[in-house]
Amino acid sequence: MTRLEELLAPRRLANDHRVVFLVDEFFRGRELLDRLPVREGDRLEFVGTAKEPTTEGIDQIVGGLRSGSNGLPVAIVGIGGGCTLDTAKAVSNLLGNGGRAQDYQGWDLLPGPGIYKIGVPTISGTGAEASRTCVMMNVAKRLKLGMNSQYTIFDALLLDPDLTSTVPREQYFFTGMDTYIHCIESLAGSHRHALADAFSREALRLCADVFGSDTMQSPENLSKLMAASYLGGSALANSYVGIVHPFSAGLSMVLGTHHCVANCIVMNAMDEFYPAEVAEFRNMVSKQSITLPSGLCQALPEEALHDLYLSTIVHEKPLRNALGDGFADVLTEERVIEIFCRM
Ligand code: NAD
Ligand code: ZN
Residue nearest to atom 8 of ligand 1 (CA): 49
Q: Please, which pLDDT band fits residue 17 given cuts at 50, 70 and 90?
A: confident
What pLDDT sits at residue 197? 97
For residue 77, CA distances in Å to 155, 182, 207, 270, 281 come to 10, 25, 28, 37, 34
In a 10 Å sphere around its CB, with 0-12 CB exposed, 13-18 middle and 19+ buried, how is residue 85 labelled? buried
| CA 90/CA 103 separation, integer angstroms | 11
**Which residues pair with residue 19 across a beta bridge?**
75
- CB of 54 within 6 A of ligand 1: the answer is no
- CB of 149 within 6 A of ligand 1: the answer is no
| CA 94/CA 112 separation, integer angstroms | 10
69 pLDDT above the threshold of 70: no
| CA 223/CA 227 separation, integer angstroms | 6
How many separate helices (H) and strands (E) can be counted in the chain?
Answer: 14, 8
| CA 145/CA 54 separation, integer angstroms | 10
Question: Which residues lie closer than 8 Å to 332 by C-beta, 6 or more apart?
Answer: none
Q: Which residues surround ligand 2, an ion (CB under 5 A)?
A: 178
Mean pLDDT of the region 37-63: 95
Counting ligands in written order, which one lies closest to the CA of residue 182?
2
Window from 53-57, 68-72, 265-269 with minimum mean pLDDT: 68-72
Q: What is the pLDDT of residues 266-312, one digit of tens each?
A: 999 999 999 999 999 999 999 999 999 999 998 899 999 999 999 99
Q: Best of 32, 171, 172 to mutate for ligand 1, by most ligand atoms within 8 A of CB?
A: 171
Residue nearest to atom 1 of ligand 1 (CA): 81
Are residues 266 and 315 in contact, defined by beta-carbon separation less than 8 angstroms? no
What pLDDT sits at residue 67? 82
- CB of 22 within 6 A of ligand 1: the answer is no
Which atom of ligand 1 has the smallest separation from the CA of 236?
Answer: 40
Alpha helices in the chain (DSSP H): 2-8, 32-35, 55-66, 82-97, 169-188, 194-211, 219-237, 244-255, 259-267, 275-287, 302-313, 316-323, 327-330, 333-341
- CB of 135 within 6 A of ligand 1: the answer is yes
Taking the CA atoms of the chain, what radius of gyration do you get in angstroms? 20
Residue nearest to atom 22 of ligand 1 (CA): 167
104 pLDDT above the threshold of 90: yes
